[in-house]
Amino acid sequence: MKALTWQGKRKIEYSEVPDPVIKEPTDAIIEVTSTGICGSDLHLYEVMGPYLSPGDVLGHEPMGIVVETGTEVPNLKVGDRVVIPFGIACGSCFMCDRGLQSQCETTQVRDEGMGAALFGYTRLYGQVPGGQAEFLRVPQAQYGPIVVPAGPADDRFVFLSDVLPTAWQAVEYAGVPDGGTLAVIGLGPIGDMAARIGLHRGYRVIGIDLVPERLGRSQARGVETLTYSADVAEQVRQLTDGRGPDSVIDAVGMEAHGSPKAQAAHKLVGLMPGAVAEKMMETIGVDRLAAFYLAIELVRRGGTISLSGVYGGAADPLPMLTMFDKQIALRMGQGNVRRWVDDILPLLTDDDPLGVDGFATHRLPLSEGPAAYEMFQKKQDGAVKVLLTP
């Protein structure tokens, strides 16, 4: 089959790879009909190379049609239309029972000291072949796949794989009080959707970004938008009685602009041999923390910061004096997809209150994946969300 494979920093290939096969009785095989490029895929494209191997199949936002099931997958049948959550979870362990599927004890990558395995995402998370491919082997298929109805286009449901539940969790974790104000830093796919969810819940939403197309897209839905600048924190305070917003979502993560030292570290990691680069990421701060620092500056005293942007360094410095003094609550983590599906599905109706039908800015053939990665990474042509069709 054909798939997108990682071959090195900023080098994605449309390659021939072996067809997936059933390995465990709880496996299923799907024929992929749509698959997304995620902002966190760009971390693999740019800085997480030390934890990848040439030929790794990328992608963790697929949906498709079931073509084969193992003997212990009673919930699926051939022909079912399914969305595949990006995290692989069993549904029955201690963590899954508590709605923490991203920490599933059955699929935890213990050799690396990490949480549940993920599709298409580095050795740290199990190096499981991903969904930017014609076919996908789905472990733990007795629990993970979300069966969706036939009829609407894939765009109605494909974002259940990651964008919708990750954004939903970001808003949940933000703990916005009734009638409160939510600031969202970064209006890429997750930030954009989090802003939409905040508006749907009746919050006042302030969105911050650098890209005019992203700002305009959110503003058209009712978000108050500000262009990121040196004085943006003061602008936000002026909009919030001098206090700052009740809650802030950092939807940017490790590749924020405005962190020149960490940007240099990113570039240095990319030039190092794999083992040296791994040690560098594990022992020094390599994240660009500008977005997180801005969240700390923005949020009102006693407010909450919700981190949904991915960070990867193990020794990044934080302004603990300020965080303690402002009495900031902080929540973060990988999205627990299955925890939120029942809340989200009722909104995926023909009324489309979250605007999922028009959420993707680009839909391209899988064969154009390498160019799509470059376009998305460079924020060209108004790219906010790219879907690929095998």
Which pLDDT score is estimated for 116? 98
Which pLDDT score is estimated for 268? 46
Which pLDDT score is estimated for 278? 57
The half-sphere exposure of 384 on its side-chain side, counting CA atoms within 13 A, is 25
Which pLDDT score is estimated for 289? 87
Quick one: which H or E segment has residue 67? strand 62-69
Round the CA-based radius of gyration of the chain to a whole number and report it: 20
Alpha helices by DSSP H, the chain: 41-46, 94-97, 163-174, 189-200, 212-219, 232-239, 260-271, 274-283, 290-298, 320-325, 337-344, 369-377
Report the alpha-carbon distance of residue 79 to residue 108 in Å, rounded: 30
Which pLDDT score is estimated for 311? 76
Quick one: which H or E segment has residue 307? strand 304-307
One-letter amino acid of 56: D
Q: What is the pLDDT along the chain (390 residues), one digit of tens a residue?
A: 999 999 998 999 999 999 999 999 999 999 999 999 998 898 888 777 778 999 999 999 999 999 999 999 999 999 999 999 999 999 999 999 999 999 999 999 999 999 999 999 989 999 999 999 999 999 999 999 999 999 999 999 999 999 999 999 999 999 999 999 999 999 999 999 999 999 999 999 999 999 999 999 999 999 999 999 999 999 999 999 999 999 999 999 766 554 444 444 445 445 445 554 555 555 555 567 889 999 999 999 999 999 997 776 666 788 999 999 999 999 999 999 999 999 999 999 999 999 999 999 999 999 999 999 999 999 899 999 999 999
For every residue of 32-43, DSSP letters joined together read: EEEEEEPTTHHH
What is the biggest distance separating any 2 CA atoms in the chain, rounded to whole angstroms? 61
Query: What residue has token string 């391209």?
Result: 364
Report the alpha-carbon distance of residue 184 to residue 299 in Å, rounded: 11
Report the alpha-carbon distance of residue 125 to residue 107 in Å, rounded: 9
pTM, 2 dp: 0.92
Which pLDDT score is estimated for 287? 65
